[in-house]
Copies of this chain bind each other. A is one copy, B any other.
Protein backbone atom coordinates (compact mmCIF):
# COMPACT_ATOMS: atom_id res chain seq x y z
CA UNK A 1 0.00 0.00 0.00
CA UNK A 2 1.35 3.39 -0.96
CA UNK A 3 0.90 6.53 1.08
CA UNK A 4 -2.63 7.05 2.33
CA UNK A 5 -4.78 9.60 0.55
CA UNK A 6 -5.03 12.88 2.42
CA UNK A 7 -7.90 12.97 4.89
CA UNK A 8 -9.77 16.05 5.93
CA UNK A 9 -12.57 16.35 8.50
CA UNK A 10 -14.85 17.96 5.94
CA UNK A 11 -14.86 14.74 3.93
CA UNK A 12 -17.41 13.67 6.48
CA UNK A 13 -20.64 15.19 5.26
CA UNK A 14 -22.00 15.77 8.72
CA UNK A 15 -18.96 17.73 9.79
CA UNK A 16 -18.96 19.53 6.45
CA UNK A 17 -22.55 20.63 7.03
CA UNK A 18 -21.60 22.51 10.17
CA UNK A 19 -21.39 26.28 10.14
CA UNK A 20 -17.80 27.52 9.92
CA UNK A 21 -17.57 28.69 13.53
CA UNK A 22 -18.65 25.38 15.04
CA UNK A 23 -16.55 23.41 12.60
CA UNK A 24 -13.43 25.35 13.49
CA UNK A 25 -14.13 24.95 17.17
CA UNK A 26 -14.35 21.17 16.88
CA UNK A 27 -11.52 20.75 14.39
CA UNK A 28 -8.57 20.85 16.80
CA UNK A 29 -10.15 18.04 18.81
CA UNK A 30 -10.80 15.71 15.90
CA UNK A 31 -8.37 12.83 15.84
CA UNK A 32 -7.76 10.83 12.68
CA UNK A 33 -7.87 7.09 13.31
CA UNK A 34 -7.68 3.98 11.17
CA UNK A 35 -10.33 1.37 11.83
CA UNK A 36 -9.54 -2.21 10.86
CA UNK A 37 -12.17 -4.61 9.55
CA UNK A 38 -14.13 -6.32 12.30
CA UNK A 39 -13.09 -3.92 15.04
CA UNK A 40 -15.81 -3.77 17.67
CA UNK A 41 -16.38 -0.14 18.59
CA UNK A 42 -19.28 -0.76 20.89
CA UNK A 43 -20.91 -3.85 22.33
CA UNK A 44 -24.55 -4.20 23.24
CA UNK A 45 -25.17 -2.07 26.31
CA UNK A 46 -21.66 -0.63 26.20
CA UNK A 47 -20.68 3.01 26.43
CA UNK A 48 -18.69 4.95 23.90
CA UNK A 49 -15.90 7.19 25.09
CA UNK A 50 -15.57 8.64 21.58
CA UNK A 51 -17.94 9.39 18.78
CA UNK A 52 -16.76 8.57 15.26
CA UNK A 53 -17.13 10.45 12.00
CA UNK A 54 -16.25 8.05 9.16
CA UNK A 55 -14.34 9.24 6.12
CA UNK A 56 -13.47 6.07 4.25
CA UNK A 57 -14.63 3.53 6.81
CA UNK A 58 -18.12 2.11 7.21
CA UNK A 59 -19.45 1.10 10.59
CA UNK A 60 -22.29 -1.36 10.90
CA UNK A 61 -24.95 -1.16 13.58
CA UNK A 62 -26.33 -4.60 14.22
CA UNK A 63 -28.02 -6.88 16.68
CA UNK A 64 -26.91 -10.30 17.80
CA UNK A 65 -29.69 -12.59 18.96
CA UNK A 66 -29.52 -15.21 21.68
CA UNK A 67 -29.35 -17.99 19.10
CA UNK A 68 -26.36 -16.33 17.46
CA UNK A 69 -28.26 -14.97 14.47
CA UNK A 70 -27.51 -11.39 13.55
CA UNK A 71 -28.83 -8.56 11.43
CA UNK A 72 -27.66 -5.13 10.50
CA UNK A 73 -30.13 -2.39 11.33
CA UNK A 74 -28.18 0.46 9.75
CA UNK A 75 -24.80 1.47 8.41
CA UNK A 76 -22.78 4.57 9.17
CA UNK A 77 -20.47 6.03 6.56
CA UNK A 78 -19.14 9.44 5.64
CA UNK A 79 -22.70 10.78 5.73
CA UNK A 80 -23.00 10.29 9.45
CA UNK A 81 -21.60 9.48 12.84
CA UNK A 82 -21.48 6.72 15.39
CA UNK A 83 -22.69 7.55 18.86
CA UNK A 84 -26.07 9.23 18.70
CA UNK A 85 -27.14 7.47 21.90
CA UNK A 86 -24.83 9.80 23.80
CA UNK A 87 -26.76 12.97 23.10
CA UNK A 88 -30.07 11.13 22.94
CA UNK A 89 -29.49 10.57 26.62
CA UNK A 90 -29.46 6.80 26.80
CA UNK A 91 -25.68 6.45 26.79
CA UNK A 92 -25.95 2.92 25.50
CA UNK A 93 -28.05 0.88 23.09
CA UNK A 94 -28.80 -2.82 22.72
CA UNK A 95 -27.04 -2.83 19.33
CA UNK A 96 -23.43 -3.48 18.42
CA UNK A 97 -21.15 -1.33 16.31
CA UNK A 98 -18.42 -3.00 14.28
CA UNK A 99 -16.23 -1.94 11.39
CA UNK A 100 -17.69 -3.29 8.17
CA UNK A 101 -15.22 -1.63 5.80
CA UNK A 102 -11.73 -0.81 7.02
CA UNK A 103 -10.69 2.79 6.57
CA UNK A 104 -10.18 6.12 8.22
CA UNK A 105 -12.39 8.31 10.30
CA UNK A 106 -12.20 11.06 12.86
CA UNK A 107 -13.04 10.55 16.46
CA UNK A 108 -13.98 13.08 19.10
CA UNK A 109 -14.13 12.72 22.85
CA UNK A 110 -17.68 12.09 23.94
CA UNK A 111 -17.57 14.87 26.51
CA UNK A 112 -16.62 17.42 23.87
CA UNK A 113 -19.47 16.43 21.62
CA UNK A 114 -21.87 16.67 24.52
CA UNK A 115 -20.60 20.12 25.32
CA UNK A 116 -21.36 21.29 21.79
CA UNK A 117 -24.70 19.54 21.70
CA UNK A 118 -25.82 21.08 24.97
CA UNK A 119 -25.21 24.56 23.66
CA UNK A 120 -28.15 23.95 21.36
CA UNK A 121 -28.02 25.79 18.06
CA UNK A 122 -26.69 24.44 14.80
CA UNK A 123 -24.76 21.48 16.12
CA UNK A 124 -27.72 20.17 18.02
CA UNK A 125 -30.08 20.73 15.12
CA UNK A 126 -27.79 18.95 12.70
CA UNK A 127 -27.19 15.96 14.95
CA UNK A 128 -30.88 15.52 15.60
CA UNK A 129 -31.67 15.69 11.91
CA UNK A 130 -29.03 13.06 11.27
CA UNK A 131 -30.59 10.89 13.96
CA UNK A 132 -33.91 11.17 12.24
CA UNK A 133 -32.36 10.03 8.98
CA UNK A 134 -30.92 7.09 10.88
CA UNK A 135 -34.39 6.24 12.16
CA UNK A 136 -35.62 6.18 8.57
CA UNK A 137 -32.84 3.83 7.60
CA UNK A 138 -33.64 1.46 10.45
CA UNK A 139 -37.35 1.58 9.68
CA UNK A 140 -36.81 0.85 6.03
CA UNK A 141 -34.58 -2.07 6.97
CA UNK A 142 -37.42 -3.48 9.05
CA UNK A 143 -39.86 -3.24 6.17
CA UNK A 144 -37.36 -4.52 3.61
CA UNK A 145 -36.56 -7.53 5.81
CA UNK A 146 -40.20 -8.42 5.78
CA UNK A 147 -41.19 -7.94 2.18
CA UNK A 148 -38.28 -8.07 -0.23
CA UNK A 149 -36.17 -10.85 -1.69
CA UNK A 150 -32.53 -11.44 -0.88
CA UNK A 151 -31.59 -10.22 -4.32
CA UNK A 152 -33.39 -6.92 -3.77
CA UNK A 153 -31.91 -6.53 -0.33
CA UNK A 154 -28.44 -7.26 -1.59
CA UNK A 155 -28.90 -4.60 -4.26
CA UNK A 156 -30.05 -2.09 -1.68
CA UNK A 157 -27.15 -2.91 0.55
CA UNK A 158 -24.63 -2.62 -2.26
CA UNK A 159 -25.96 0.76 -3.36
CA UNK A 160 -25.99 2.16 0.16
CA UNK A 161 -22.45 0.90 0.68
CA UNK A 162 -21.29 2.29 -2.64
CA UNK A 163 -22.67 5.71 -1.80
CA UNK A 164 -20.47 5.75 1.28
CA UNK A 165 -17.27 4.94 -0.56
CA UNK A 166 -15.56 6.70 -3.41
CA UNK A 167 -14.71 3.41 -5.00
CA UNK A 168 -16.67 0.96 -7.12
CA UNK A 169 -15.02 -1.92 -5.34
CA UNK A 170 -15.86 -3.26 -1.91
CA UNK A 171 -13.64 -5.53 0.13
CA UNK A 172 -16.26 -7.88 1.43
CA UNK A 173 -16.78 -11.64 1.56
CA UNK A 174 -20.17 -13.15 0.87
CA UNK A 175 -20.10 -14.57 4.36
CA UNK A 176 -19.85 -11.09 5.81
CA UNK A 177 -22.62 -9.69 3.63
CA UNK A 178 -24.80 -12.60 4.66
CA UNK A 179 -24.32 -11.86 8.33
CA UNK A 180 -25.18 -8.21 7.70
CA UNK A 181 -28.42 -9.05 5.96
CA UNK A 182 -29.11 -11.85 8.41
CA UNK A 183 -29.38 -14.55 5.75
CA UNK A 184 -27.42 -17.66 4.79
CA UNK A 185 -24.13 -17.29 2.99
CA UNK A 186 -25.49 -19.51 0.23
CA UNK A 187 -28.32 -17.08 -0.29
CA UNK A 188 -25.81 -14.35 -1.08
CA UNK A 189 -23.85 -16.67 -3.38
CA UNK A 190 -27.02 -17.25 -5.35
CA UNK A 191 -28.19 -13.64 -5.46
CA UNK A 192 -24.71 -12.36 -6.29
CA UNK A 193 -24.46 -15.00 -8.99
CA UNK A 194 -27.58 -13.65 -10.64
CA UNK A 195 -26.28 -10.09 -10.51
CA UNK A 196 -22.99 -11.24 -11.97
CA UNK A 197 -24.69 -13.11 -14.81
CA UNK A 198 -26.62 -9.94 -15.57
CA UNK A 199 -23.26 -8.17 -15.91
CA UNK A 200 -24.02 -5.83 -13.04
CA UNK A 201 -21.28 -6.88 -10.65
CA UNK A 202 -18.11 -8.92 -10.73
CA UNK A 203 -16.63 -10.59 -7.72
CA UNK A 204 -13.64 -12.62 -6.68
CA UNK A 205 -12.80 -13.83 -3.22
CA UNK A 206 -13.71 -10.95 -1.03
CA UNK A 207 -13.80 -8.26 -3.67
CA UNK A 208 -17.01 -7.06 -5.27
CA UNK A 209 -16.87 -4.62 -8.14
CA UNK A 210 -19.97 -2.84 -9.34
CA UNK A 211 -19.76 -2.63 -13.12
CA UNK A 212 -23.16 -1.20 -13.89
CA UNK A 213 -24.57 1.02 -11.24
CA UNK A 214 -27.69 1.95 -13.15
CA UNK A 215 -28.37 -1.73 -13.73
CA UNK A 216 -28.24 -2.20 -10.00
CA UNK A 217 -30.67 0.64 -9.53
CA UNK A 218 -33.14 -1.23 -11.71
CA UNK A 219 -32.86 -4.33 -9.54
CA UNK A 220 -33.26 -2.60 -6.21
CA UNK A 221 -36.47 -2.20 -4.25
CA UNK A 222 -37.87 1.19 -3.39
CA UNK A 223 -36.23 1.07 0.03
CA UNK A 224 -32.91 2.33 -1.27
CA UNK A 225 -34.36 5.47 -2.74
CA UNK A 226 -36.43 6.27 0.33
CA UNK A 227 -33.36 6.14 2.54
CA UNK A 228 -31.15 8.05 0.14
CA UNK A 229 -33.62 10.86 -0.34
CA UNK A 230 -34.23 11.19 3.38
CA UNK A 231 -30.50 11.56 4.03
CA UNK A 232 -30.28 14.18 1.30
CA UNK A 233 -33.20 16.07 2.71
CA UNK A 234 -32.07 15.99 6.31
CA UNK A 235 -28.35 16.58 6.23
CA UNK A 236 -27.76 19.21 3.66
CA UNK A 237 -26.17 22.43 4.92
CA UNK A 238 -27.60 23.12 8.34
CA UNK A 239 -27.96 26.75 7.32
CA UNK A 240 -30.91 25.65 5.23
CA UNK A 241 -32.78 24.60 8.29
CA UNK A 242 -35.60 27.03 8.69
Contacts and interface: CB of A to CB of B under 8 A. Distances in A.
Interface in A105-158: 118, 120, 125, 128-129, 131-136, 138-143, 145-147
Using C-beta atoms within 8 Å of the partner chain, give the interface range for chain A: 35 or more
A138 B89 CA distance: 18
Nearest to A133: B90
Contact of A241 (B63, B89, B95): B89
A88 interface: yes
A143 B182 contact: yes
A135 B118 CA distance: 21
Most buried by B among A63, A93, A146: A146
Given A89-B241, A142-B73, A230-B94, A147 B66 contact: no
Contact of A65 (B65, B66, B73, B147): B147
A82 B63 CA distance: 26
A90 B139 contact: no
A143 B44 CA distance: 14
- The A contact surface, by secondary structure, is helix
A104 to B, nearest CB: 27
A94 B128 contact: no
A233 interface: yes
B143 A146 contact: no
Contact of A88 (B85, B131, B140): B131
A192 to B, nearest CB: 19
Most buried by B among A69, A129, A132, A222: A132
Nearest to A222: B66
A87 interface: yes
A127 to B, nearest CB: 9
Interface of A: 61, 63, 65-67, 69, 71, 73, 85, 87-90, 93-95, 118, 120, 125, 128-129, 131-136, 138-143, 145-147, 182, 222, 226, 230, 233-234, 241
Given A63-B140, A88-B132, A138-B138, 18 more contacts: A61-B139, A63-B139, A65-B143, A69-B146, A71-B143, A71-B146, A88-B129, A88-B131, A89-B125, A93-B135, A94-B136, A94-B139, A94-B140, A94-B230, A95-B139, A138-B142, A139-B142, A145-B146
